[in-house]
Structure 1
Amino acid sequence: MRTFSLFLLLFTAALHADDWPQWLGPQRDSVWRESGIIDTFPAGGPPVLWRAKIGGGYTGPAVADGKVYLMDRQVADKASVPGNAFARGLIPGTERVLCLDAKSGSVIWEHRYDCTYTMSYSTGPRCTPLVSGGKVWTLGAEGNLLCLDAATGKVLWSHDFKSEYGAKTPMWGFSGHPLLDGQRLLCLCGGPGSVAVAFDKDTGKELWRALDAREPGYGSPIIIEAGGTRQLILWHPQAVNSLDPATGKVFWSHPWEVRFGLTVPTPRLAGDLLFFTSFYTSSKCFKLDASKPEATLLWEGKSFSEKNTDTLHSLISTPFIQDGHIYGVCSYGQLRCLKLETGERLWESMAATTGGPLVRWANAFIIKNADRFFLANEQGDLIIAKLSPKGYEEIGRAHLLKPTTTDPRRPVVWSHPAFANKCVFMRNDEEIICASLAK
């Protein structure tokens, strides 16, 4: 019986090994661990297995148990959308949670709810669904937190951050991807004393709330282990904070005034170093104490300009740290390599983003697979490249999606892809596609 149980455990693990069930992948670290993936693209690009029509949104897809989950936006008929994407109006419409068959793209179920938008950049929801244990949790751009049955779409519980917690919709909407920690669902909420809120993942009951700030920001929480302690790292526009994930108690906090609340890229941990980057206010790197939950500032960038940058000024893309080096996209599309210990810049290249000119907010998402990287840029290209302290080496490139989001005054794809089942799943504001990357 014990042998059979072990076999069943290993078999079940194998079934789920290829999923991409949340923001940044299975371990929330931007690493795709599947093998048997192409070395470079075939002529004409990878075969697209299916396409499915969807609405607008920045939400990346999640792939789990043979299904694809994502969110989109349906604008109400005759609704007036501000011509200036920075303007905040009242835009009636609905948000949808969609569940598709991963093999065919056909719709299995959808859940739609009324949602009037009040934020700038109103194309659609931001947060990637989180799937685990037969449930899917979603967070809409106006602060609607839902827990649904992953098989049927039935709503099991919900919360409204604005009506229940007094949170105000951030300038660019609620964007912090919820984090699952055992029985706790950890959320970036907002409101007095509730920048961070933990809910019971099954019942929706509030377990604790913590932190005050003038706005919650947009960064996704992470959990690290340092100083012999599990720590919840939550970065809002006034401070970097470490909390006890079980209680919300603050372990340590480091003040950091971030312009326009732009705490977007997910913090990255490498050994005992914790790295952050922001569009206007450069980067900070903290050294974590080995014996207790504390941190000291190791180095920080000195530039507060989006143009005259020094270390790394990322707007959207989460950097990747490998072998003591940081790889990330700076404020105008410069893919850069920095020394982790000092922040010293070794090189930069525009090849992965614009191919030449500096463009404000130009972006590419960085995902590691084996000894190379997949870069999904805002032009709808998927690139295979090697990144090292010596430079950027492009291996192959395929154009997979049409840029459709015009919020930044040019068409872009600003949705993080998912990698599962030896495929890539990418979306714009019109369709989601599945393309095979199997060798």
Structure 2
Amino acid sequence: MKTFLFPACLLISLTAQAADWPTFRGADRKDISSETGLLKKWPANGPKLAWLNEDAGLGYAGYSIVGGTLYTLGARDAVEYVIAIDTATGKEKWSAEAGALLTNGWGDGPRSTPTVDGDKIYALCGKGTLVCLNAADGKEIWRVTMDSLGGKVPGWGYCESPLVDGNLVIVTPGGSQGTLAAFDKTTGTKVWQSSEWTDPAQYASIIAADHNGQRQFIQITQQSVAGVNAADGKLLWKTDFPGRTAVIPTPIFKDGQVFVAAGYGIGCKSFKIGPDNVIEPLYESTDMVNHHGGVVLVGDHLYGYSDKAGWSCLDFKTGVVQWTEKKALGKGAIHSADGMLYLLEEKTGTVVLIEASPTAWEEHGRFTLQPQTTQRNAKGMIWTHPVISNGKLYLRDQELLFSFNVSGM
């Protein structure tokens, strides 16, 4: 493994607000870091590079950062590994075999982000093996496969990141035995499977919400959006969502309102979960045709890339477009921290910092990720989402994992 360290860039002011990032889109799955004291404007060449790890493995997996360790998935040879990396130095702490390699025409390897809960790691491999590992050394505690639950590997592999909620870890095997399944997070024993909802798995990650006096898990497939009771997996509500080809973005929930989106010309839909879990439609449109770069809700406004109009801002409650911008930056992924949006263009690796403003596109810096991998599939792009944690911006292009210092303190 090669790691390049830039010591002058390692220190982060103790006065800055630091935040761990335990799973995909953060602990609340809103993709908004609680960090403050970050740079509001970047130097001409972008923020300073703290370190570069050149052996994070192949694939499109994201990363979780907890207690000074970054956890990710990566393929080496014909195996998918969970890999732990020291966030101070970029050096690998350990790696553990997780499952057989997913092969795919858009690039082999894992697509999921591990979830950290206490002293354990939960990771879902591309072919559908869920493993629970010891966070300290990668020792395996238990594993289960999605096919044992009636699931079938989706066309681009299992991509969701496991949700840990209370004593449960929840995933989406899909299929006739039930779309969702919950396990005892300590033993791996199945607690329930949502037999009333049997859509095949797609690619989004589950969110948890408290509403109408019930804890529920919300997920989206290519046929529907639904909520199930967290205690027993019983179906609470369901509404149609006719996706096409692949449904990927994570649902968004606020004050009883749900927002979902998809690519391939489908667009977005929003609705209220009313009393007695009756669905109240709010709007449907093609103003946010979001493929897989994600959508974030900052305040009362949604931000993300729409295949129709480019980078877009919508009013969450009404769906009304506030602004669009297509010339400044192409399609890609989004992340938010400290009132700013971090945008990553998938084709070029260009990273742009803008204000999370409903008024207009207001840019505050950009740079292009360098170096870039030579191992990426010709059909693949830079698809791993950006993350801010503990004053650092993390970016990935296959085996290349970058840490940039974005603390303004």
Which residue of structure 1 lines up, in the alignment, with residue 67 of structure 2? Answer: 65
Q: Give the C-alpha shift of residue 406 in structure 1.
A: 5.1
Instruction: Verify the 8 A CA contact 2:101 2:126 in the aligned structure 1.
Output: no
**Within-5 A mapping of 1:216-295:** 216-260=201-245, 262-279=246-263, 280-289=265-274, 291-295=275-279
Instruction: Verify the 8 A CA contact 1:287 1:298 in the aligned structure 2.
Output: yes
Instruction: Verify the 8 A CA contact 2:133 2:140 in the aligned structure 1.
Output: yes
Which residue of structure 1 lines up, in the alignment, with residue 81 of structure 2? Answer: 96
* In 2: Cα distance, 1:339 partner to 1:39 partner: 24
For 1:154-210, what per-residue CA distance to the aligned partner results, in whole angstroms no more than 9, with x for missing partners? 000001112x12321100110121111100001111232232000011110100001
Question: Structure 1 110/16 Cα, relative in aligned 2: closer, same or farther at 3 Å?
Answer: farther
- Report the AA paired with residue 219 of structure 1: A
Question: Structure 1 25/49 Cα, relative in aligned 2: closer, same or farther at 3 Å?
Answer: same
Residue 375 (1) aligns with residue 343 (2):
yes
Which residue of structure 1 lines up, in the alignment, with residue 174 of structure 2? Answer: 190
Q: Give the C-alpha shift of residue 408 in structure 1.
A: 7.1
For 1:340-383, what per-residue CA distance to the aligned partner results, in whole angstroms no more than 9, with x for missing partners? 333232321125532xxxxxxx3122x22222222233232332
Question: Structure 1 42/388 Cα, relative in aligned 2: closer, same or farther at 3 Å?
Answer: closer
Residue 424 (1) aligns with residue 393 (2):
yes
For 1:21-58, what per-residue CA distance to the aligned partner results, in whole angstroms no more than 9, with x for missing partners? 11112332111112221121124322211111222111
Q: Give the C-alpha shift of residue 238 in structure 1.
A: 1.2
Instruction: Verify the 8 A CA contact 1:196 1:210 in the aligned structure 2.
Output: yes
Q: Give the C-alpha shift of residue 16 in structure 1.
A: 11
Structure 1 unpaired stretches of 5+: 1-13, 76-92, 302-309, 355-361
Which residue of structure 2 lines up, in the alignment, with residue 397 of structure 1? Answer: 366
* In 1: Cα distance, 2:190 partner to 2:54 partner: 36
Which residue of structure 2 lines up, in the alignment, with residue 130 of structure 1? Answer: 115
SS at match of 1:375: strand
Q: Give the C-alpha shift of residue 228 in structure 1.
A: 2.5
Instruction: Verify the 8 A CA contact 1:333 1:363 in the aligned structure 2.
Output: no
Q: Give the C-alpha shift of residue 401 in structure 1.
A: 4.1
Instruction: Verify the 8 A CA contact 1:229 1:292 in the aligned structure 2.
Output: no
Which residue of structure 1 lines up, in the alignment, with residue 301 of structure 2? Answer: 325
* In 2: Cα distance, 1:381 partner to 1:311 partner: 24
Which residue of structure 1 lines up, in the alignment, with residue 76 of structure 2? Answer: 74
Q: Give the C-alpha shift of residue 214 in structure 1.
A: 5.0
| Match for residue 115 of structure 1 among 92, 100, 108 | 100
Instruction: Verify the 8 A CA contact 1:266 1:276 in the aligned structure 2.
Output: yes
Root mean square deviation, CA, Å: 2.2
Question: Structure 1 183/325 Cα, relative in aligned 2: closer, same or farther at 3 Å?
Answer: same
- Report the AA paired with residue 63 of structure 1: I
Question: Structure 1 278/148 Cα, relative in aligned 2: closer, same or farther at 3 Å?
Answer: same
Which residue of structure 2 lines up, in the alignment, with residue 6 of structure 1? Answer: none
Which residue of structure 2 lines up, in the alignment, with residue 304 of structure 1? Answer: none
Q: Give the C-alpha shift of residue 434 in structure 1.
A: 1.2
Instruction: Verify the 8 A CA contact 2:300 2:317 in the aligned structure 1.
Output: yes
SS at match of 2:230: coil
Q: Give the C-alpha shift of residue 268 in structure 1.
A: 0.9
TM-score, with structure 2 as normaliser: 0.89
Percent of aligned pairs with the same residue? 29
Which residue of structure 1 lines up, in the alignment, with residue 324 of structure 2? Answer: 348
SS at match of 1:286: strand
TM-score, with structure 1 as normaliser: 0.83
| Match for residue 299 of structure 1 among 261, 283, 302 | 283
Which residue of structure 2 lines up, in the alignment, with residue 52 of structure 1? Answer: 53
Bigger Cα displacement from structure 2, 53-62 vs 132-141? 53-62
Instruction: Verify the 8 A CA contact 1:59 1:70 in the aligned structure 2.
Output: yes
Equivalent pairs counted in the alignment come to: 389
SS at match of 1:292: helix
SS at match of 1:392: coil
Residue 210 (1) aligns with residue 179 (2):
no
- Report the AA paired with residue 165 of structure 2: D
* In 1: Cα distance, 2:101 partner to 2:309 partner: 32
* In 2: Cα distance, 1:18 partner to 1:97 partner: 22
Question: Structure 1 264/403 Cα, relative in aligned 2: closer, same or farther at 3 Å?
Answer: farther
Which residue of structure 2 lines up, in the alignment, with residue 20 of structure 1? Answer: 21
Structure 2 unpaired stretches of 5+: 1-14
Question: Structure 1 363/15 Cα, relative in aligned 2: closer, same or farther at 3 Å?
Answer: closer
Instruction: Verify the 8 A CA contact 2:37 2:338 in the aligned structure 1.
Output: no
Question: Structure 1 66/158 Cα, relative in aligned 2: closer, same or farther at 3 Å?
Answer: same
- Report the AA paired with residue 206 of structure 2: P
